[in-house]
Amino acid sequence: MRLDKFLANSGIGTRKEVKKYLKKNLVSVNDEIVKKADMHINPEQDVITFEDIPISYEPVVYLMMNKPAGFISATEDDEHETVIDLVPEYMHLDLFPVGRLDKDTEGLILLTNDGKFSHKIMSPKQKVPKLYYVELEGTIRDDAVEIFKAGIDLSDFTSSPSELEIIENDYESIAHVTIYEGKFHQVKRMFHSIGCEVTYLKRLKIGNLELDEDLPVGEYRHLTDEDFHKLNVDL
Q: How far apart are CA 161 and CA 86, in angstroms?
A: 34
The span from the CA of 138 to the CA of 169, in Å, is 8
Type of residue found at 178: T
Q: Would you give the distance in Å from CA 150 to the centre of its chain?
A: 29
Residue 18 CB neighbours (<10 A):
23
Residue 102 annotated among the catalytic residues of the structure = yes
DSSP state of 35: -
171: burial class by Cβ within 10 Å (0-12, 13-18, 19+)? exposed
Q: Is-contact 5 40, C-beta < 8 A? A: no
3-state DSSP helix/strand/coil percent for the chain, to nearest 5?
25, 30, 45
Catalytic residue among 52, 102, 104, 170: 102
AA identity, residue 219: E
143 and 195 in contact (C-beta within 8 Å)? Answer: no
Strands 96-98, 163-168: pairing kind: unpaired
Q: How many residues are there in the chain?
A: 235
Active site residues: 102
